[in-house]
Structure 1
Amino acid sequence: MLTVAVLISGTGSNLRALLEAARHPDYPARVVVVGADREAAGLAHPEDFGIPSFLVPYERFDSREAWGEELHRQLSAWRPDLVVLSGLMRLLPPAVVAAWSPRLINTHPAFLPEFPGAHGVRDALAAGVAQTGASVIVVDDGVDSGPILAQERVAVLPGDDIASLHERIKPVERRLLIDVVRRIATGELDLEDIH
């Protein structure tokens, strides 16, 4: 059984979907802990599922590196097989990436390498493209630049705004994440072979 830690910053909709998938006996992964970098609405989800959580508030640390050290310490206590960034809106320090990668994955609301960064949906709309998408990647030291594990296109519809487009991307992101975690758990996807 693959053990998973999930890190969030917001509402945790991807986290919720993963927790619901993991509730099924035939799903080969279990979320063992959820962490956040701020008081996040998504911390209600692990509580609903009886899963522990921890908080490492970024603003309480003198530097990103010091924050990262505490985040790494908290994660290490649970010894997860995989760490999922699920809407964590903060770049991890290089030492944290080095400690966990390639067992460190992230979802992104764009068809990478198109529209990396914190505003992928807004940037796709601003570019006037006919389609964008969702991706699941291995985290590296860049901004959404790691190896792509799965992705799928999503059409941009006439009249779309950031909210409406993002709402159509989210279910695709969730489905891709659940499938990638399953494939990692079954050995169908070997992160050590990803470059």
Structure 2
Amino acid sequence: MSEGTPLPVVALISGGGSNLQALIDAQLQGRPIQLRAVISNQAGAFGLERARRHGIPTEVLSHRDYPDRDAFDSDLSALIDRHEPGLVVLAGFMRILTPAFVNRYLGRMLNIHPSLLPKFRGLHTHQRALDAGEREHGASVHFVTAELDGGPVIAQARVPVLAGDDAETLAARVLRQEHILYPTAVHWFARGRLRLDTDGRPRLDGEILTEPRRIEMDQGS
């Protein structure tokens, strides 16, 4: 993207949309992104209200109205493409995507996952980290591929696992870091600093990322 042209973004959500709010805030603060639409598979998702409050178009496409994933993903991609995004962001979109859908947006679709990937792919990451006796936990931003939570990791934020933590307190600590981590990675992509090579390797500022970029934050917060 040129310096003066914001990157058009479509966000997919299923729930409260706190990471969506972080992206909205980044846009309001002058980051070079333009949220063209927020799409949810859940009509009651509070993230839709977050978008409406800021004049961002919203769409609902319920997976319950479709016989299978392929049919849903086909209509979802058509809905996304109407908004002509340069980037699709998954912000708590609780759907397993079909390979055809993922390949359509390969290299221009990001996800944020609440663990230090490749550890704890899937759900219930905070409890699983506690059960495993981890001393450190966190969040990862990655390019989306057909492998669930298995795409190339771009950046991570880490937090300590504290004595007395339960899944709720640990989740809250991680979430605060997600709200910094995700807009940072989206900003890199918007400025043309981040891309996915044709061989599937992420590249930042011209350098291949052999390991995720660690975003340094207040680790106790």
TM-score (norm 2): 0.85
Deviation string 1:69-108 (CA, Å, 9 cap, x unpaired) is: 1110100100100000001111111111010011010000
Structure 2 residue runs without a partner (length 5+): 1-5, 202-221
SS at match of 1:135: strand
Contact 1:9–1:88 (CA under 8 A) maintained in structure 2? yes
1:101 maps to what in 2? 106
1:171 to 172, 176, 179: 176
2:186 to 181, 186, 189: 181
Distance 2:83 2:109 in 1: 15
Distance 1:165 1:56 in 2: 32
- Match runs of 1:133-172 below 5 Å: 133-172=138-177
Contact 1:109–1:134 (CA under 8 A) maintained in structure 2? yes
1:128 maps to what in 2? 133
Answering whether residue 42 of structure 2 is matched by residue 38 of structure 1, we say yes
> Amino acid of the residue matched to residue 171 of structure 2?
H
Deviation at 1:159, TM superposition (A): 1.3
Deviation at 1:192, TM superposition (A): 3.9
Between the aligned residues of both structures, percent identity stands at 39
Distance 1:192 1:47 in 2: 35
Contact 2:139–2:177 (CA under 8 A) maintained in structure 1? yes
Deviation at 1:122, TM superposition (A): 1.9
Distance 2:145 2:139 in 1: 18
Answering whether residue 87 of structure 2 is matched by residue 76 of structure 1, we say no
Distance 1:151 1:119 in 2: 18
> Amino acid of the residue matched to residue 82 of structure 2?
A
Structure 1 residue runs without a partner (length 5+): none
Contact 2:13–2:92 (CA under 8 A) maintained in structure 1? yes
TM-score (norm 1): 0.96
> Amino acid of the residue matched to residue 29 of structure 1?
I
SS at match of 2:194: coil
